[in-house]
Amino acid sequence: MAGGPVATGDGIGASAPKSKLAGILMTAFAAFGGILFGYDTGTISGIIQMDDWLRTFGNATTDTATYPLGYYLPSNRESLVVSILSAGTFFGALLGAPAADILGRRLGIMCSCLVFSLGVALQTGAPDMATFVVGRVFAGLGVGLVSTLVPMYQSECSPKWIRGAVVSGYQWAITIGLLLAAVINNATKDRQNHSSWQISIGIQFIWAFVLCAGMSYLPESPRWLIKKGKDKAAAKALARLTSLDAQDPEVEAELNDIRVALREEQALGESSYLDCFRFNNNKIALRTLSGIFIQAWQQLTGINFIFYYGTTFFKNSGIANPFLITIATSIVNVFMTLPGMWGVERFGRRSLLLWGAVLMCVCEFLVAIIGVTISVTNTAGQKALIALVCIYIAGFASTWGPIAWVITGEIFPLAIRAKAMSLSTASNWLWNFGIGYATPYLVNTGPGNAGLGVKVFFLWGSTCAGCFVFTYFCIPETKGLSLEQVDLLYQNSTPITSAKYRNELIAQDIHVSDYKGTADAHHDEKEATEKV
């Protein structure tokens, strides 16, 4: 309890001066992985509309009235090219677990860059559709791996007082990637040779190179090193991240906390996928399911409806250039992530998720109600709808966008973190795919379609209400706690009472090692050090 012998391990860099930026900058750099994610998901819809891409990979047609270019992409091929990335990302996210556990978080990210680059190379040099599609699969695997590994690395390495902001930086990079894709596609789309799409795709080598080269200079996650019994290396890594000496009592206390929490977990047995769903005092099943569902709910906010279909959907708004709508929504997305990065440490995860759900819910119901009331020729009304959609995006960008990643980075205990995070991330990609696939059928008119049109916003409004209920019952307040203190939070409080217990943990400086006794911990520490 408070005042216990080692009640000093406040989380990485707890008492290191906040001015020591080195560790923060290192973990913030890993956010660059978000650029790969955002750019790759954002670029394909523009590429498959480029003239030269259609001439190279599409089908020739004599129906030039419908297809003035003389080439078109049949729907089944369009959905193959677009959705095959999701298949890759889904499996990539799942592969993130063995990669993180076996190779380590840092080397795992570097290898993901290689897989991703292979996909980029195959797409850039593709002579035919088959090669292009295989390239999309590899790029998807790379993006999926990165989307599991980057938030994991960041959560495990950043100081606890700024962990939420650092992981939110990853979401910020995703939004920048989406914006870059829109801008670069627009800049190259009118070229009448292969360079139009080859530049857009090939530029991704730069993102992969920067991420891989940068990661080679960063330390490995001290938590992974402890898990592997490499205690000396863990001390060194933690010392680099905190700008302290490896023998500093602060570093030793932190490592001790990690070790005690891990040992307690491991005492319960193996950490297989089934163990991610154990009902025990540590509430593992609740934690894994919360991770899987928060990512599902993030997709169910309907955000990608706007990013994938918004342009077509709002073509009646009187804004002639659809590119402008894409740019406007992407810019709101980028800039409104910044208040989210600040707010996640100021107001906490839980309250921002709750408020974000309310704001998005109100906006979506207003869009639905106004949309069914006014006619499509009412240009002023249509512009009001776009304004509401922008407020909705602002709500997503400053809350659910970043915080879903922050939460999945911090609610799992070390023993199962890689597996549970990979399941959560895979859930994000599965829902991303499912919603993307189902939306045209829900919205469009004609046989086989539900013809919901603007009424689809009633659906998104209701799912945002679902986001509120889910957060209220399942997501605790984890702001400012070390990852090991999050274990105590789950053991001793419920999501609804968590804010109060969290305040106690912080006010009384309570730690895992205070609970479990330190003599044992020191004994283990010696043993583990000898193993290195």
Only one of the segments 21-29, 111-119, 125-133, 168-176 lies at the binding site for ligand BGC (rule: CB under 6 A); that segment is 168-176
| Binding of ligand BGC by 428 (CB under 6 A) | yes
The single residue among 158, 432, 493, 498 that binds ligand BGC, judged by CB under 6 A, is 432
Instruction: Write the CB contacts of 517 (distance below 8 Å, at least 6 apart in sequence).
Output: none
The single residue among 149, 157, 303, 414 that binds ligand BGC, judged by CB under 6 A, is 303
Size of the site for ligand BGC (CB under 6 A): 12
| Binding of ligand BGC by 424 (CB under 6 A) | no
**Minimum distance, C-beta of residue 455 to ligand BGC, in the bound complex (Å):** 23
The single residue among 89, 333, 482, 498 that binds ligand BGC, judged by CB under 6 A, is 333
Interface mask toward ligand BGC for 364-403; x: CB under 6 A: -------------------------------------x--
Neighbouring C-beta atoms of residue 452, cutoff 10 Å: 17
**Minimum distance, C-beta of residue 431 to ligand BGC, in the bound complex (Å):** 9
Helices 349-373 and 456-474 cross at an angle (nearest 10°) of: 160
**Minimum distance, C-beta of residue 388 to ligand BGC, in the bound complex (Å):** 18
**Minimum distance, C-beta of residue 59 to ligand BGC, in the bound complex (Å):** 30
Q: Are 416 and 284 in contact (CB under 8 A)?
A: yes
| Binding of ligand BGC by 271 (CB under 6 A) | no
Neighbouring C-beta atoms of residue 280, cutoff 10 Å: 11
Residue 382 vs 428, nearer CB to ligand BGC = 428
Residue 123 vs 399, nearer CB to ligand BGC = 399
How many CA within 13 A on the CB side of residue 508? Answer: 15
Query: What span, in angstroms and rounded, lies between the C-alpha atoms of 178 and 334?
Result: 9
Neighbouring C-beta atoms of residue 518, cutoff 10 Å: 18
Query: What span, in angstroms and rounded, lies between the C-alpha atoms of 188 and 170?
Result: 27
Only one of the segments 110-118, 171-179, 363-371, 447-455 lies at the binding site for ligand BGC (rule: CB under 6 A); that segment is 171-179
**Minimum distance, C-beta of residue 204 to ligand BGC, in the bound complex (Å):** 17
**Tokens of residue 356, six digits:** 């974000």
Helix (H), strand (E) at residue 71: strand 71-72
Query: What span, in angstroms and rounded, lies between the C-alpha atoms of 9 and 52?
Result: 59
Query: What span, in angstroms and rounded, lies between the C-alpha atoms of 151 and 148?
Result: 6
Q: Are 282 and 487 in contact (CB under 8 A)?
A: yes
**Minimum distance, C-beta of residue 508 to ligand BGC, in the bound complex (Å):** 35
Burial class of 21 by CB neighbour count within 10 A (0 to 12, 13 to 18, 19+): exposed
**Tokens of residue 45, six digits:** 């819809």
| Binding of ligand BGC by 307 (CB under 6 A) | yes
| Binding of ligand BGC by 175 (CB under 6 A) | yes
The single residue among 27, 56, 171, 478 that binds ligand BGC, judged by CB under 6 A, is 171
Q: Kindly list the residues in this chain that would bind ligand BGC in the complex (CB under 6 A).
A: 171, 174-175, 178, 298, 303-304, 307, 333, 401, 428, 432
